[in-house]
Structure 1
Amino acid sequence: MIHKVERGESSPTANLLGKLSGAFGLSMSALLARVENGHGRLLKKADQSLWTDPATGYLRRHVSPQSDLPLDVVHITLPAGKEVAMPASAYLFLRQLIWVLEGELVFIEGQLRHAIHAGDCLELGPPMDCVFKNETAQPCTYAVVLLNISH
């Protein structure tokens, strides 16, 4: 699959990007931002990079400017009835917060299930395989704040 992505024959899924980012010790945001050239302290909405998971329609917008600050902010829309699994390896070097802006999100860390509603914010525990799920009939919009602790 990686060869198809490299040749531009296929778009990577969120799960594949999670595995690649973990292998390189980068957040998914940092991995995607390396493709972008924008620098500066202000990143206008029109210039924020967008990526859509071809498997689920999950839309990810990298909100924070690319800088030496070990912090990323990502805006995500997870379509109704969809889920995205992420491997623990994608989080080994990160601390994260999930803040639901609209709708409802179910976040599963290993065996632990969290129901997160609009306005709620969850601090993730130790890295483990996880699943972001939207079990409703409406899209869910949330922000993920990532702190790279390997710096």
Structure 2
Amino acid sequence: MKHGDGGDPDDSRDPIDARLAARLAALRAERGWSLGELADRSGVSRSTLSRAERCEISPTASLLNRLCAVHGRTMSQLLSEVEATSAQVVRADEQTVWTDPASGFERRSVSPPQAGLRAEVVEGHLDAGADLSYDRPPVPGLEQHIWVLEGTLTLTVGDSEHTLHAGDCVRFRLWGPTRFHCPGPEPVRYALVVVEP
């Protein structure tokens, strides 16, 4: 998700960024929360929340994770709410790709969530040296399976650290913080299967 520097009000914005900003504002409005209340609940500053809702910044994965936790959604659920209607078959060129501006983490929604279905598949990509941390799960007790397709991933779940190479898989229920790190020298690509509790 990329957009201009904000200097020109008519600059072209990524449509996903714009729809995401509108959805974040709508979620807050649906609960009747002020920016201050949401800031208190999420631990994100009022100014950052305001800029995200006005599409002045592209939210990071960490910021989205905090907001998902407050609203009781997975990141895929939130992103699917700003996509076109879900289909049974999702072609590769129609899958939504989102990039975290802070870490460069690229997230492809391989099978966006649908009402009534609990599992989803995501593809992750981190360049060598990239680091991505979450201080809490978006939904406590979320089941995750991570299967490394290429490269090496160092994954920390709570107090446990796992070094995973191509073909390795780890599964767990998510209750606390997680950290994804690509030690390199090559990038890492992995499949993430998420199952709601």
Q: Give the TM-score range, shorter chain.
A: over 0.9
State the distance in 2 between where 1:39 and 1:125 align.
26
Q: Distance in 1 between matches of 2:100 and 2:174?
A: 25
Q: Distance in 2 between matches of 1:54 and 1:65?
A: 21
Whole-angstrom CA distance in 2 between matches of 1:35 and 1:93: 25
Whole-Å separation in 1 of the counterparts to 2:121 and 2:167: 16
Shift of 1:64: 0.3
* Larger RCO of the pair (alpha carbons < 8 Å, separation 6+): 1
SS state of the match for residue 88, structure 2?
coil
Match of 2:128, SS state, is coil
- Tell me if the contact between 1:96 and 1:123 (Cα under 8 Å) persists in the aligned partners: yes
* C-alpha contact (below 8 Å) 1:25/1:93 kept by paired residues: no
- Name the structure 2 match of 1:107: 155
RMSD: 1.3
Q: 1:33 corresponds to which letter in structure 2?
A: S
Tell me the residue number matched to 2:38.
none
Q: Secondary structure at the match of 1:23?
A: helix
Distance (whole Å) between structure 2 residues aligned to residue 115 and residue 56 of structure 1: 19
Q: 2:195 corresponds to which residue?
A: 147
User: Who is 1:28 aligned against?
Assistant: 75
The match for 1:94 among 142, 147, 159 is 142
In 2, the alpha carbon distance for the partners of 1:39 and 1:115 equals 35
Between the aligned partners of 1:38 and 1:138, the Cα distance in structure 2 is 36
Alignment correspondent of 1:82: 130
Q: 1:28 to 1:126 in 2, by over 3 A?
A: closer
The Cα shift of 1:109 comes to 1.4
Report the Cα distance in structure 1 between the residues aligned to 2:68 and 2:110, rounded to whole angstroms. 18
Q: Which residue of 2 aligns with 1:121?
A: 169
CA contact (8 A) 1:110 1:130 kept: yes
Counterpart of 2:52? 5
**Gapped regions of structure 1 (runs ≥ 5):** none
Report how far residue 91 of structure 1 moved: 4.0
Could you say which structure has the higher helix fraction? 2
**Which stretches in structure 2 are left out of the alignment for 5+ residues?**
1-47
Does the 8 Å CA contact 1:50/1:60 hold for their aligned counterparts? yes
Separation in 1, partners of 2:66, 2:112: 23
Q: What TM-score does the superposition give when structure 1 sets the normalisation length?
A: 0.93
Percentage of identical aligned residues: 38
Q: CA deviation at 1:81?
A: 0.2
Letter in 2 for 1:71: A
Runs of 4+ in 1 over 3 A off after TM superposition: none
